[in-house]
Amino acid sequence: MKTVRLCSTGDLKSGDARRFDVDGHRIALVRIEDDFYALGDRCSHANYSLSEGEVYADDREIECWKHGSTFSLATGEPQSLPATKPVPTYQVSVEGDDVMVVLP
């Protein structure tokens, strides 16, 4: 396992999602207020980018823009069909102004 820097805290506004490709991992980083969430950026239903979807801050979910499945930002578990399999999640920390993620 190793920890890598994805971006600065100021690079994302609350409600934003952005894709990062790091060491073979395609990661969707989401910011809600001062909380950051990192999960696999490929929808488990049909391999579309989750970072291009709608972020639901109140529910802490992100929606796949293609078929409407939503995923928990905390667990990666699908919250609606057609997706039935979770996406991976990554541990996130903020060190100063740097957003860091732990890769397996």
Q: What average pLDDT does range 80-93 have in this prediction? A: 97
From the number of C-beta atoms within 10 Å of its C-beta (0-12, 13-18, 19+), residue 64 rates as: buried
> What pLDDT sits at residue 59?
98
Range 2-103 has CATH code 2.102.10.10: yes
Cis peptide before 88 (omega within 30 of 0): no
Contact 49, 10 (CB under 8 A): no
What would the mean pLDDT of 59-80 be, rounded to a whole number? 97
Domain ranges of the chain: 2-103
* pTM score of the predicted model: 0.96
Average predicted confidence (pLDDT) for the chain: 97
What is the pLDDT averaged over residues 79-101? 97
Query: What pLDDT score does 6 carry?
Result: 98
Contacts of 1 (CB under 8 A, 6+ apart): 102, 103, 104
Comparing C-alpha atoms, which of 64, 68, 66 is closest to residue 53? 64
Phi, psi of 52 (to 5 degrees): -90, -5
CA distance 87 to 73: 10
What pLDDT was estimated at residue 30?
Answer: 98
